Structure 1
Amino acid sequence: MTTTTGARTAGRAARPARAALPRPYLLWLAGAQAGALGDAALAFALGWAAAAHGGGAAGLVLTAITVSRTALVLVGGAVADRLGARRVMLAGDAVMLVATLLLAAVAGGWGTPLGLLVAAAVVVGVVDAFYLPASGSMPRRLVDTGQLPRALALRQAGGQLAALLGAPLGGALVALGGLPGAALLDAASFAVVLLVLLRVPVRRDAAGDAAGVAAVDVAGARTPERPERPGLLREAAAGVRSAVRDRLLRAALLLTGAAAGALLPVVALLAPLLARTYGWGAGAAGLVAGGQGAGVLVVAGLLSWRGPGTGAGSGAGAGSRAGVGAAAGLCVASAGIALLAWAPGPAAAVAGGVVTGAGSGLFACRIGPLLLGAAPDDQLSRVQALLTLVQSAALVLSTGALGLLADAVGPRTPTALCALATGATGLAALASRVLRRA
């Protein structure tokens, strides 16, 4: 008995303690999630105001955000790598603080004409194009490589919580104060993020922090350190070429694009169509979306607490777990989508949403550290920009095709095809040697 107890005690002592995430990262993450909550509330308010002008107007507002963001995101990544992620984020928060205050003032005085909503959407999309690549690179700049899985899982959980709370909060604000109320809340969130960013010390932001710094030679004379740099478009293209040539980045980006095209339209597009077609009601569609969000939140929270396991972030083992874990997440999500496709009623559909969310959460929490960890130090934001572009392009293409197919044959068939595509993508990831071994 003594020997057994001693062995257990020794085993517990031999396990390395899980290091806490760095305080600067937690501080930045808290500010970022406050900003995400304000953004989600404003997005709901913009959509609600646009819907008053008709479905075409609402689609126009959403398209204005997507198109402006997609068109500029590669340049935004190059700017963040050149000037520094924090500088770009500070500029973006300042612009959005002013823009949301102006939106609140104009909407409060003149109402919500369609032109105002489209202009606000364009501003949001343009700022996102520069902000998202910079923000996406921050975990790598603030935490050690071995802590990336937990750091990104915690960010995923926080982002999902903000998304779940944002729409109800936006609805309450619209009911109380209309679009101006939601805009004022978003302005307050940008002010919070600005204050947080000014306090957070950012490591590995040398591209921006070193700009304009002079070097001192042996004789004491000061000589300019910054060499002549190519244009932003060339730097953006160089980031794309670098990612395409890297086998791991190329495979992970292709996998993420395929997963986005098959996964993301399910809850946003196909679940409401299923609910309308089979008379489940709007409440059931909302519960499916909520179940999906809850599944993501639970898995991301669990992974942020437990971490990736022993040996995380070291050698091929951690990479193998990341690739295999991402593939397993897609296979789980495939089962959830299949359950949603053939659900006989709302209860089974909600269960399908929960399983889909759990699988997609596992995929996101595994593929994120793999992508960010494999990115070159001087191209962190450009890789994040390319990731945004790949996801957006896949989503736009698949959403249109799935919508047309649903009109032709009903929503069950495209939902089942999404289940097959998601499962096939997971199996392809398992078959990829570079993803298995990283």
Structure 2
Amino acid sequence: MTDLTDIPTRGASLATERPAHRDPNVLRWVAAYTLSMVGDMVFYLALSWAAVQNGTAAQAGIVTAVSAVPRALLMLGGGVVADRFGPRRVVIGSDAVRCGTVLAVAAVLFATDPGLWLLALLAVVFGTVDAVFLPAVGALPARITTKDQLARVQGMRGLGIRFAAVVGAPLGGLGVAVGGSAAAFACAGLLIAVSVPLLVSVRVRELPPDEATAGTARDSTAWRDLRAGLRHIRRHRVLGPLMITIALGDLGFVGPLNVGLTLLADERGWGASGMGWVLGGFGTGAGVAALLLTVRGRVPHAGLVAAGAIIPGAAAIAALAYAPGLPVAVGTAVLVGLLTGLSGAMCGALLQTQTDTAYLGRVTAVAGIVSLGIAPLSMPLSAAAIGVWGTGPVFVVSAVVCALGGVVALCAPGLRRAELPK
């Protein structure tokens, strides 16, 4: 279905008159996305703090994890919604619901102490809305700029994520210190609220008639639209192997760089500060990769670069477990961040440019399920395996899984030879 409520622009108005990092329309989208991500960081910190204050550690863990369930179960449907009704409309609507929900809970917490049930309900609602919000966010860049600028937008998006990671946690901690969980929730809601008018101001281009009807015919059902999206991925010479590459890369990366790093820091006696330095090194490397892509815009031989970055990045993950001291571990983490950041940005840019625009919501949803639904399952498995075999062997096995993603990319001719538009 054509997105009739989106603000249309003439085809020439989104041409490459200026690069994306100098385009006010793209910058408004990046600002809105970044504010929303900072709000998310503050929200989850406030949620975990409130849960700990109102229940046991186990109950708090359930509350903070429960939002992932509707997100994983409903995200494919969210992709269909984004493609049927247009990503701009869906992003604005879902962001407004997120904002209203968080502010309402903040108001309740200021007035009373309802207990864990409200926090669990909030987590479920937030995860449900995220199932629609995330695919629409992924589909929107292709509607606000041209394909030759999408790699640059991926870099800008990566910078926004890095900024949110650096700013969000301290800001949430400040909110908790000043006014408790209610103040932190209010801060998160206000940040998301600021992003809504920015999203409203973003202009999008209309899809050509052939693209607008390519994946969501008016007389089709949601189930048929979903099957069409999955078929589009399966038959595509780049997207099929790209999804496998993303899945293997995330499965091999999430465990070691989350729960595995905590256990490694404890084993080596680095403490929380040492773990913070290692995470800072990773963030620095990933930020440099995002900045390079933002400035450069296009990287030649994108498929080959993605595969070439995944394999040495996997080797660096394995080496991290055998670092002789904290300085070497921090340096290795910088390398991990740089290489995985580069490969992740290339995979994201290829997903954006290779997918027909009418299918972007559904394709983004599939990639999101892999990253947000399947990959986190490796965390408890990694923790259990480290308890039996230690950090070194588990980091090596995880690195092998991650490297297999690069091998898939090298063995798939379509993906290996894939290029970004000029």
Instruction: With the length of structure 2 as denominator, give the TM-score of the two structures.
Output: 0.89
User: Structure 2: how far apart are the matches of 1:46 and 1:336?
Assistant: 34
User: Deviation at 1:204?
Assistant: 3.9
User: Deviation at 1:262?
Assistant: 0.5
> Who wins on radius of gyration, i.e. which is larger?
1
Distance change (3 Å), C-alpha of 1:332 and 1:50: farther
Q: Could you say which residue in structure 2 is the equivalent of 1:33?
A: 34
**For residues 31-430 of structure 1, what are the structure 2 equivalents within 5 Å?**
31-52=32-53, 53-111=55-113, 113-204=115-206, 228-309=218-299, 318=300, 321-430=301-410
Q: Deviations over 1:341-361 (max 9, x none)?
A: 112222222222211111111
**For residues 9-24 of structure 1, what are the structure 2 equivalents within 5 Å?**
19-21=18-20, 22-24=23-25
User: Structure 1: how far apart are the matches of 2:377 and 2:39?
Assistant: 29
Structure 2: give runs of 5+ residues left out of the alignment: 1-15
User: Structure 2: how far apart are the matches of 1:291 and 1:48?
Assistant: 26
Distance change (3 Å), C-alpha of 1:178 and 1:206: farther
User: Structure 2: how far apart are the matches of 1:111 and 1:65?
Assistant: 21
Contact 1:323–1:366 (CA under 8 A) maintained in structure 2: yes
User: Deviation at 1:205?
Assistant: 5.5
Which residue type is aligned with residue 157 of structure 2? Answer: R
Distance change (3 Å), C-alpha of 1:273 and 1:200: same
Q: Give the count of matched residue pairs.
A: 397
Which residue type is aligned with residue 364 of structure 2? Answer: Q
User: Structure 2: how far apart are the matches of 1:424 and 1:200?
Assistant: 39
User: Structure 1: how far apart are the matches of 2:340 and 2:17?
Assistant: 25
User: Structure 2: how far apart are the matches of 1:328 and 1:49?
Assistant: 43
In terms of mean alpha carbon deviation, does 35-44 or 185-194 score higher? 185-194
User: Deviation at 1:417?
Assistant: 1.4
Contact 2:290–2:345 (CA under 8 A) maintained in structure 1: yes
User: Structure 2: how far apart are the matches of 1:412 and 1:227?
Assistant: 52
User: Structure 2: how far apart are the matches of 1:179 and 1:232?
Assistant: 39
Q: Deviations over 1:291-327 (max 9, x none)?
A: 1111111111112112225xxxxxxxx4xx1111111
User: Deviation at 1:116?
Assistant: 1.7
CA RMSD of aligned residues (A): 2.2
Contact 1:84–1:205 (CA under 8 A) maintained in structure 2: no
User: Structure 1: how far apart are the matches of 2:330 and 2:101?
Assistant: 38
Q: Deviations over 1:88-123 (max 9, x none)?
A: 111112211211111101122223622122111111
User: Deviation at 1:206?
Assistant: 7.2
User: Structure 2: how far apart are the matches of 1:234 and 1:145?
Assistant: 27
User: Deviation at 1:379?
Assistant: 0.9
Q: Deviations over 1:391-433 (max 9, x none)?
A: 2343133223222211212222211212222233323322321
Which residue type is aligned with residue 389 of structure 1? Answer: I
Instruction: With the length of structure 1 as denominator, give the TM-score of the two structures.
Output: 0.86
Structure 1: give runs of 5+ residues left out of the alignment: 1-16, 212-225, 310-317
Q: Deviations over 1:204-230 (max 9, x none)?
A: 4679xx89xxxxxxxxxxxxxx97422
Higher relative contact order (CA 8 A, sep 6+): 2
Distance change (3 Å), C-alpha of 1:109 and 1:303: same
Distance change (3 Å), C-alpha of 1:230 and 1:148: same
Distance change (3 Å), C-alpha of 1:106 and 1:301: same
Which residue type is aligned with residue 126 of structure 2? Answer: V
User: Deviation at 1:279?
Assistant: 1.9
Structure 1 ranges of 4+ moved more than 3 A: 204-207
Distance change (3 Å), C-alpha of 1:237 and 1:56: farther
User: Structure 1: how far apart are the matches of 2:304 and 2:378?
Assistant: 25
User: Structure 1: how far apart are the matches of 2:411 and 2:236?
Assistant: 18
Q: Could you say which residue in structure 1 is the equivalent of 2:13?
A: none
User: Structure 2: how far apart are the matches of 1:228 and 1:427?
Assistant: 40
Distance change (3 Å), C-alpha of 1:248 and 1:171: same
| Percentage of identical aligned residues | 35
Q: Could you say which residue in structure 2 is the equivalent of 1:11?
A: none
